[in-house]
Amino acid sequence: MLKLRSDKKILSDVFNSFVRQLYTKETKLYKGICKPKLFLAKFLATSCKDEFCIDKPTKWPSGKPANFKFHQETETILNEQINTELKAFYHYLSMAAYFGRADVALPGCESFFMQMHHEEHEHAIRFLNYVKMRGGLVNLCPIQPPSDQDWKCPLHAFKTALTLELEVAEKLVAVNAVAEKHGDLNASDFIVTGFMEDQMKSVNEMGRFVAVLSGIGDQSLARFIFDKDLLEHYVQPKFNILRSKLRPNSTDK
C-alpha cells in the first residue's frame, strides 16, 4: 500500500510539473486563470479554436472507406476467393507434413507441396491486399481442414491437388464474371493478367503428374524415381527440403 501511494505521488508530481511549465509559457494568453490545473483544462478546451487545428475529432474509423466503383458483390466474391486460396494452402501443408514423415520419406513430394503451400498463401495475401487497396472490407472465413489427412500415396495426393487447382480456377472465372458484370475493369484485369494463366499451368501440371502416377501404379522403384525427378526439376532450391538440411559447411557438387 505504501509503494502504491508513493507511485501515485510521483505521477502527481510529474503531472503538476508539466502543467506548471506549460502555464508559465502561456501565462500571457490566460492571465485570468490562477491555478495550473484550471489553466490546463481551459487550454485543452480552446485548443481546437487555434488556427493550427483544422478538424474536430470524428468517429474512427468512419465506416466509409474510399473506393471507386467497387461493388459489394465483387468485394464478397473476392473474400470468398481468399478463403478458397487458404483452403488449398491448408491442404498442401497437410500433404507436405505427411510426405515428410519418417515412415513415408518422400522428400520430393514433401518439398513440392511445401512450395505449393507457400504459393497459395502468397495468392491469398495478394487478394487480401487488393481488397484493401480498393477500399473494401476483408472478411475472413473459417478454413476447413482436409477430411482425411492420411494421403496414403502420391497418386491420391496429386488427384486431390488437381481437384483443388480446378476449384481455384473455377472460382477465378466466377470472380472475373462478377467483376465484368459490374463493369469493374480493374478487378477483371487483376484476375485475368495476374492469375489466370498461371492457374491454367498449375492445372495442366497437376494433370500430368496424375497421368504419370496412374501409369506407374504402386511400384516402389518407379515411385522413388518420380519423387527424385520431382525434387530435381519442379522444386525451387529454397523449398528443397534436402538442401535445407545440409550442414552450413557442406557444398553442392
**Confidence at residue 19, expressed as pLDDT on a 0 to 100 scale:** 56
> Residue 2 above 50 pLDDT?
no
Q: Nearest to residue 241, comparing CAs of 111, 132, 46, 151? A: 111
Average pLDDT over residues 232-242: 94
Does position 1 have pLDDT exceeding 60, yes or no? no
**109 pLDDT more than 50:** yes
The domain made up of 70-232 has a fold known as Ferritin (1.20.1260)
Grade residue 218 by pLDDT with cuts at 50, 70 and 90: confident
| Structural contact between residues 165 and 95, judged by C-beta atoms closer than 8 angstroms | no
> What's the mean pLDDT when you consider all of the chain?
84
For 31-60, give one letter per residue: b (16+ CB within 10 A) or e.
Answer: eebeebeebbeebeeeeeeeeeeeeeeeee
Q: What sign has the CA pseudo-torsion 245, 250, 251, 252?
A: negative
State yes or no: 199 annotated in a binding site: yes
Instruction: Tally the C-alpha atoms within 13 A of residue 63's C-alpha that lie toward its C-beta.
Output: 2
Q: Please tell me which residue, 35 or 230, carries the higher pLDDT value.
A: 230
* Burial class of residue 227 in the structure, from the number of CB atoms within 10 Å of its CB (0-12 exposed, 13-18 middle, 19+ buried): buried
Rounded to 5 degrees, what are φ and ψ at 168? -65, -40
- Kindly state the greatest CA–CA separation across the chain: 96
Q: Band the pLDDT of 9: cuts 50, 70, 90.
A: low
- Better-predicted residue by pLDDT, 92 or 56: 92
219 is in an annotated binding site: no
User: Does 165 belong to an annotated binding site?
Assistant: yes
pLDDT in tens, 180-202: 999 999 999 999 999 999 999 99
pLDDT, mean of residues 164-180: 97
Q: If you search the block for the grid coordinates 507441396, which residue do you land on?
A: 113
pLDDT of residue 63 exceeding 50:
yes
DSSP class of 250:
-
Could you state, in order of their start, the residue ranges of all structural domains in the chain?
Answer: 70-232
| DSSP string across 173-201 | HHHHHHHHHTT-HHHHHHHIIIIIHHHHH
